[in-house]
Amino acid sequence: MQCLRDIGRPRSPLAALLVSLLAAGCGSGPSDPSASPTPTPTATPPLTASSVTGRYVLEIVPAPGCNMSRTPLSFPMVAAVAGTSPHPGVQVVLDGNPGELELELLFDNGTLRGGLGTTGDGVLANEALRLWMHAVGNGSLTRASDGRAQLLTGTLMGYVALGRPNDDEGALGTCSARDHTFTLRTR
């Protein structure tokens, strides 16, 4: 050890005492009972259905094979726990008008899966396009910086239709596909 080098040389009694004290403390931790030890890292708690709560932004993108706009459509959403054991779940609804757009999702081992849908009137996206949707989705959750869970990559299988704000359903196209995508990010 570096601090014990040349310890065998003859020294004065004071130098020997100093060397002995230094050698005793070399590589050891604090001997003062009031000293605090280095903190042990704590494990991150597992994601649960209750980790998906609060305000989110839902983003939906029609499948690449659809003959329609692939501009992401975003919606302000609110999530809350729904259901308990053995099938815990999450209900996510449109913020301000929960009847227009709803997601009912089961939570299973860090994954959400379930139905997403609109009413017959569709729902107006932040991008001023109207969306009609009936689909089944799934995706794995990740932890956001605030500790809540979010879904960064999800897939949708089902029907999507687009229109301008006052259009009839599907005026800008309809598509049934297995590879629409969605995200549910914290806000």
The gap from C-alpha 34 to its chain's centroid, in whole angstroms, comes to: 40
In this predicted structure, what is the pLDDT of residue 127?
A: 97
Task: Count Cβ atoms below 10 Å from residue 158 Cβ, excluding itself.
Answer: 17
Q: How far apart are CA 128 and CA 2, in angstroms?
A: 70
Taken in order of first residue, the domains within the chain and their CATH numbers are: 49-186 (2.40.160)
**Cβ of 135: how many Cβ atoms within 10 Å?**
21
**pLDDT attached to residue 18:** 47
Whether 100 contacts 123, CB under 8 Å: yes
Q: What is the pLDDT along the chain (187 residues), one digit of tens a residue?
A: 454 455 555 556 655 554 555 555 555 455 555 666 667 666 777 888 889 999 999 999 999 999 999 999 999 999 999 977 788 999 999 999 999 999 999 999 899 999 999 999 999 999 999 999 999 999 999 999 999 999 999 999 999 999 999 999 999 999 999 999 999 999 9
Could you tell me if 172 and 164 are in contact, meaning their C-beta atoms sit under 8 angstroms apart? yes
pTM of the model: 0.76
Residue 181 near residue 155 (C-beta atoms within 8 A): yes
CA angle 132, 137, 138 (to 5 degrees): 160
